Amino acid sequence: MHFFPDYRQPIIEALIVLEDSGITRFPVDLHAIQRQYRNLFEIRSYVSLMKERGLTREECIQLLRSEDGAAVMHGYGRYVIYYNDKKSRRRTRFTIAHEIGHVILGHLLEHEVPIISREGMTQRLYHRLEHEASCFARNLLCPAYHAERLLDAHGISRVADEDVWEVARRTALTENLGMRFDAQSLIEKAFDISSAAAKTRVGLLQTDIDMYSAHHLDWESTKDIGQSAAWYCTRCNLERFPGASHCSECGGKRFAFKVDAKAFSYRKLGVNAHMQFSPCPVCGNESYSADAGYCRICGTLLTNPCTEDPAHLNHPEAKHCYACGKITAFNGSDHHLRIKRSLETQNEGDFSMIYESEIAYDPKTNKVTVCPRCDNEQINTDAAYCRICGLPLVNKCIPGQWKDDFGNFHDSHPHENLPDSRFCEQCGQPTVYFKHNLLKPYAQVLGIDEPGDDGNDFDPDIPF
């Protein structure tokens, strides 16, 4: 029998339990662990024992020799873990994890005791078992590397040669975040443990990390366990964007770090190297010119700048600028409504649509090589219109009009577009080919109804 705690085994066992129970996010769901190990132990409250045996809570505490909880062997290799339901939820989580530690580490079997208590064994042995079970508990609920990763994302690192962890730098996540935080409070919230347990976790973080590296403990299988906790706007509960000083939904400036089932976030949408939304949040198209301002398939604007500083580019769902809090170009606009609506109807998986063009053209001149309306293939290099049906051979936009200083309207200059563009990338206006029903509206291609607008009810009078 050894009296010095072995901290290697509890860490290994904790990682195995996390993997076997299929834990994918912190805070750890103890119900998932209970389901996985239902043949080994069950978890019951003191109140259920009180009812079953007709005991008072005080008698229960006496019987189990603990204010918080105890693992009791019921028959060979089967256990009941009791917890005092009068304690706080966070404290109880740690108690249950600690008792699971006694069970998994085989403490009761090894020492042939029905319950771990001071009275049944020597002080040294009792302390060894307690330290091992607690090591298991903290690495189950809050594994060292995951804690370190959370702190690192917040720019928190260890003060040299001390077990103190402090904010040392700004990170992509904390940039412009005008809120105070520290290692202990972040860990408490992210892993749903008491402040006392979080304090111990921080204090023993380097010790546990050293244990991992000294024994080459493999944490690979738990690497992808993610965090549910995030920074949310305290007013509207939108998840804050990294680097944002203002909430994109309400313009608020206060954020709280927490796990919150009622919180929400905007859909994850990308921007390309030219800072255009990509794919298009309405139709899923990804092919744009570098200087396109509008999606050529559905006509949606490809950026949502703030109305104060056009250099501040926002998420397409944003109503307020993340950088200055002023309203965005989309706030209250048709674009915003369309984006909201289409994001609600789209599923994550079937996004990013490839619009296959069947129209043959010469990429040097953008001129079609076969007329898409009458199938005429005899097209002269210098011709501007199809000699059979008169269709322009380059798909131009039908520009809107502009008003001069005297109130007179003028036609704008049309822009050249690819033959399969429904809308002009420069001005957002429909193209000639779209207007002539040579191209289907994007909603029809995607097989969705676009509410209130069939997308193609243009003036049939084309001037040619």
- Taking the complex as a whole, the smallest distance from the CB of residue 133 to Zn ion amounts, in Å, to 5
Burial class (CB in 10 A: 0-12, 13-18, 19+), 319: buried
Strand partners, 426: none
Measured CA to CA, the distance from residue 385 to residue 28 in angstroms comes to: 67
Please tell me whether residue 269 binds Zn ion under the rule CB under 5 A: no
Measured CA to CA, the distance from residue 158 to residue 199 in angstroms comes to: 14
Please, are residues 183 and 166 in contact by the beta-carbon 8 Å criterion?
A: yes
Please tell me whether residue 18 binds Zn ion under the rule CB under 5 A: no
- Taking the complex as a whole, the smallest distance from the CB of residue 305 to Zn ion amounts, in Å, to 8
Measured CA to CA, the distance from residue 265 to residue 241 in angstroms comes to: 9
- Taking the complex as a whole, the smallest distance from the CB of residue 149 to Zn ion amounts, in Å, to 27
Cβ closest to Zn ion, residue 198 vs residue 386: 386
Please, are residues 233 and 254 in contact by the beta-carbon 8 Å criterion?
A: yes
Specify the stretch interacting with Zn ion by CB under 5 A; choose among 166-174, 197-205, 266-274, 288-296: 288-296
Quote the DSSP letter at residue 264.
B
Q: Residues 29, 34, 39, CA angle at the centre, nearest 5°?
A: 160
Cβ closest to Zn ion, residue 233 vs residue 318: 233
Q: Is 178 helix (H, G, I), strand (E, B) or coil?
A: coil
Cβ closest to Zn ion, residue 12 vs residue 323: 323
Specify the stretch interacting with Zn ion by CB under 5 A; choose among 28-36, 273-281, 333-341, 354-362: 273-281
| Nearest of 220, 312, 222 to residue 275 by alpha carbon | 312
Q: Is 445 helix (H, G, I), strand (E, B) or coil?
A: helix
Cβ closest to Zn ion, residue 143 vs residue 279: 279
Measured CA to CA, the distance from residue 451 to residue 175 in angstroms comes to: 40
Please tell me whether residue 111 binds Zn ion under the rule CB under 5 A: no
Residues 177-236 close enough to bind Zn ion by CB under 5 A? 233, 235-236
Total chain residues near Zn ion (CB under 5 A): 39
What phi and psi values does residue 8 have, to the nearest 5 degrees?
Answer: -75, -50
Cβ closest to Zn ion, residue 164 vs residue 360: 360
Please tell me whether residue 249 binds Zn ion under the rule CB under 5 A: yes
Please tell me whether residue 376 binds Zn ion under the rule CB under 5 A: yes
Among 174, 184, 285, 395, binds Zn ion (CB under 5 A): 285
Q: Are strands 79-83 and 41-45 parallel, antiparallel or unpaired?
A: parallel
Please tell me whether residue 292 binds Zn ion under the rule CB under 5 A: no
DSSP H helices, 54-194, are 57-64, 89-104, 107-110, 123-141, 144-153, 183-191
Please tell me whether residue 397 binds Zn ion under the rule CB under 5 A: yes
Residues 114-133 close enough to bind Zn ion by CB under 5 A? 116, 130, 133
At position 357, the amino acid (one-letter code) is S
Among 97, 142, 306, 394, binds Zn ion (CB under 5 A): 306
Among 324, 343, 370, 445, binds Zn ion (CB under 5 A): 324
- Taking the complex as a whole, the smallest distance from the CB of residue 241 to Zn ion amounts, in Å, to 11
Please tell me whether residue 427 binds Zn ion under the rule CB under 5 A: yes
Cβ closest to Zn ion, residue 22 vs residue 178: 178
Please, are residues 230 and 263 in contact by the beta-carbon 8 Å criterion?
A: yes
Q: Which residues bind Zn ion (CB under 5 A)?
A: 116, 130, 133, 233, 235-236, 238, 247, 249-250, 252, 280, 282-283, 285, 295, 297-298, 300, 306, 308-309, 312, 321, 323-324, 371, 373-374, 376, 386, 388-389, 391, 397, 415, 424, 426-427
